[in-house]
Amino acid sequence: MAKATANTLRGRIFKSTGSWYEVVGEDGVAYQARIRGKFRLDGRKVTNPVAVGDWVTLELLENEDSQAVITAIEDRTNYIIRQSPKKTAHAHILATNLDQALLIATLTFPRTSLGFIDRFLVTAEAFGVPAAIVFNKTDLYEEEQLEDIQIYRWMYEELGYPVLFTSALAEEGIGALRLQIEGKTTLVTGHSGVGKSTLLNLLSPEISQKTGEVSTFANKGTHTTTFAEMFAISDTTNIIDTPGIKELGLVDFEKAEIGRYFPEFKSRLDDCKFYNCTHIHEPGCAVLEALEANEISVTRYHSYLSMVQGEESHR
């Protein structure tokens, strides 16, 4: 066994495959690392103590090429967790230290619903991660769908969420996408088959992520990417590709909190007559008044209702 030396280095987790982590040190070298010691997340049980995006301290192993031990994790600016698919009592840290979360959406092949988009936005708000939306596959859209995405852009940008249009196939909108991710660590998410990996490959041909054919079954696509993995587009620009996930999903979702994650509600909450207003039926509700005055969009309000009432997301 190689003995650890006092030779330490700062690094960032790019990939995790079970008990091994791929860590890129500040020296630019990719290390294979294991964890020493116990790490917890605010006392919560997690399946993975260290996640993609984490800044860590590495202790380099003598006599071992590019092997190291993770001895400390730096405080995270934020993180996104999911319910563990295997252990239900555990949470799974998807990624940490994010500057942005980007939802890749498509109106067709497969269809991303507004309800799904709103759940993504609420999740990003809850974790304190700025969010943006990219409508991809515009080459496939009918005239009416092209009009729809203009309306969505207007609606979401008014709320503070940037909206981009891309066609990975026609290589359109890629320059704007490049600007949107420049200098940031961005988590990319969206249904399987929307073109996440294809867009990534365009942004950095070296990434060469596997892409898949969208399965015709229900137009939902097949899962091609299975692990969250970070890719360096440049020294300061990183992209985290995630498996085509059904839903980002909140752990320990507090229904009473949901209104606070809708920016257009948040600014009005103080004006509701009751401090514990659910914005569903109460008299003197500022949210309902704004809805009636067409200051809040009906689709956003419906998304709110379906989240509060715990319905399955409409896809």
Ligand X SMILES: Nc1nc2c(ncn2[C@@H]2O[C@H](COP(=O)(O)OP(=O)(O)OP(=O)(O)O)[C@@H](O)[C@H]2O)c(=O)[nH]1
Q: Which residues of this chain interact with Zn ion, rule CB under 5 A? A: 272, 277, 279, 285, 287
Could you tell me which residues come within 8 angstroms of residue 84 by beta carbon, excluding any fewer than 6 positions away?
Answer: 46, 47, 90, 91, 92
Asked if residue 194 binds ligand X (CB under 6 A), the reply is: yes
**Of the ranges 29-37, 60-68, 114-122, 161-169, which one interacts with ligand X (CB under 6 A)?**
161-169
CB-based contact 240:187 (threshold 8 Å): yes
Residue 288, token pair as written in the block: 């309902």
195 binds, among ligand X, Zn ion, Mg ion, none (CB under 5 to 8 A by kind): ligand X
Residue 299 contacts Mg ion per CB under 5 A: no
**Residues forming beta bridges with residue 69, ordered by sequence position:** 34, 59
287 binds, among ligand X, Zn ion, Mg ion, none (CB under 5 to 8 A by kind): Zn ion
**CA pair distance 217, 232, nearest whole angstrom:** 34
Tokens representing 56 are 């860590």
Of 126 and 228, CB closest to Mg ion: 228
Q: Which is nearer to Zn ion, 18 or 283 (CB)?
A: 283
Examine residue 186 and tell whether it contacts Mg ion (CB under 5 A). no
Among 49, 130, 162, 212, binds ligand X (CB under 6 A): 212
In 241-254, which positions are buried (b, 16+ CB within 10 angstroms) versus exposed (e)? bbbbbebbbbeeee
**Of the candidate residues 224, 278, 306, 313, the single one contacting ligand X (CB under 6 A):** 224
| Candidate list 57, 83, 84, 224; residue touching Mg ion; CB under 5 A | 224
Buried b vs exposed e over 279-294: b needs ≥16 C-beta within 10 Å?
Answer: beeeeebbbbebbeee
168 binds ligand X (CB under 6 A): yes
Q: Tell me the closest approach of the beta carbon of residue 260 to Zn ion, in angstroms.
A: 12
Place of tokens 């290589």: 171
Q: What does the binding site for ligand X look like in residue numbers (CB under 6 A)?
A: 136-137, 139-140, 167-169, 190, 192-198, 211-214, 221, 223-225, 243-244
